[in-house]
Amino acid sequence: MNFENNLAFAQVQDQADVLKGFRQQFLFPKHHDQEFIYLCGNSLGLQPKAVFQVLSRQLSNWANLAVEGWFEGDQPWMYYHKELKNLMAPLVGASPVEVCPMNTLTVNLHLLMVSFYQPKGRRVKIIMEGGAFPSDQYALESQVRFHGQNPDDAIIEVFPRAGEDTLRTEDIIAKINENAEETALVLFGGINYYTGQWYDMEKITKAGHAVGAVVGWDLAHAAGNVPVKLHDWGVDFACWCSYKYQNSGPGGIAGIFVHEKHFQNQELNRFAGWWGYQEDKRFKMEKGFMPEAGADGWQVSCTQVMPMALYHASLQIFEQAGFLIPLRNKSIHLTGYLEYIINEVNKNIGKEQFKIITPANPLERGAQLSIIAAEKGKAIFDGLVAEHILGDWREPDVIRLSPVPLYNSFEDIYRAGEALLKVCKTVL
């Protein structure tokens, strides 16, 4: 697409957008009765208007049925998660039996690592991205210590080359091969939270399996953002939060994926709980854990009905939109337009005030651009907020902007660029 830096161009694109109607299904934050242009879906998605109806339905069930709501009514809580599984699966390229809504992201990461990080002999190491989100770093450190290993020795971080901002796939694969005999687990974020780089998940998974390692993914910034094929790529396990691109609300219920190839593996450890027990025998209250088939067997505590209702409201919107393929097509153009607009701002300023560290290749990024400000980055970010442009600030000098295809428009991007130039002329 040949972009243009004018309002008319942006409005023409919005008129032609087959997904434009979905914007009306979300609530935008306001200040002094003026809506923000919201470019922070990578941190917290907007609230779907349908939340009120979906949540009210469950509150009504609770009010009218009380404990009988687990088995009675038009949507018994005992089986409610199955509705979500059918809608979650297409977002991560899985079958419904391979996914399950439960807990929160880092809790799920710990539970899955109990099963899939089993250091033995020399094979004790974990290979991960350098600069991963702190929760992943802390989780891996504690898991390694739990197994009696030293994180400094057992965790191998892969960093970009000197002078580069993102990782090269060949360097990741080289590090895996270099530690082939000692690697137990390869665990990366699907998309790096800081740079916005989407890693080549298929190639990395294949490389990890080639050396006999287990491969898992944290999809916090990827699920609902980019099309992944967890089943077809043979990924062993994955987990994700749902409150970013999947709009399930702050601290919303998370999800897991376990590949069906592991379902019959009796050697996998797991921290068991009542809700992971075989569904048809759960209420017999018998000793001796027998897991439910599929990913459901990794559940521990009972279904979180109200958080699932919030998630359900958003998942139904994804279904209406045709899941990720049409959304991805729009996302590529929206993010491309944002890249163009930022470069136009640099031209108007007369220097590279903003350096985009997210890969320029659409196949290596999702709906996020991370921008290093050459100077006065925080003042510029605060200026954008004052102009009702809401992105995300990361120390020491990065502004993250994420145009989400479900609710952002080309006009949003044009207006954001207009405000950015205005702020720069004031601050610089």
Same domain, 13 and 136: no
pLDDT per 10-residue tile (average), the chain, 428 residues: 96 98 97 94 98 96 96 93 97 98 98 97 97 96 96 97 97 98 98 98 98 98 98 98 98 98 92 94 92 96 95 98 96 98 97 97 98 96 97 95 98 98 95
Residue ending a domain, among 285, 320, 355, is: 320
Same domain, 212 and 267: yes
Residue ending a domain, among 263, 291, 320, is: 320
Q: What is the pLDDT of residue 101?
A: 98
Selection from 322, 400, 415, 316 nearest residue 366 by Cα: 400
What is the number of structural domains in the chain? 2
Same domain, 96 and 164: yes
- Each residue of 105-162: pLDDT tens digit? 999 999 999 999 999 999 999 999 999 999 999 999 999 999 999 999 999 999 999 9
> Which residues form the domain of 381?
7-35+323-427
Q: What is the CATH number of the domain that holds 351?
A: 3.90.1150.10
Q: What is the pLDDT of residue 266?
A: 85
Q: What is the pLDDT of residue 32?
A: 85
Same domain, 261 and 332: no
Residues 6+ apart with CB under 8 A from 365: 191, 196, 197, 198, 335, 358, 359
Same domain, 256 and 236: yes
Strands (E), 231-315: 237-240, 255-258
Same domain, 107 and 216: yes
Degrees to nearest 5, angle at CA 341 with 339 and 344: 115
- Each residue of 320-361: pLDDT tens digit? 999 999 999 999 999 999 999 999 999 999 999 999 999 999
Q: What is the pLDDT of residue 300?
A: 96
Q: What is the pLDDT of residue 31?
A: 86
Between the CA of residue 185 and those of 155, 189, 223, 304, 392, what are the distances in Å?
10, 13, 21, 30, 32
Same domain, 126 and 262: yes
Contact predicate 123/181, CB 8 Å? yes
Same domain, 388 and 412: yes
Residue ending a domain, among 260, 286, 320, is: 320
- Whole-prediction pTM value? 0.96
Burial of 361 (0-12, 13-18, 19+ CB in 10 A): exposed
Q: Phi first, then psi: give them for residue 154, nearest 5 degrees.
A: -90, -25
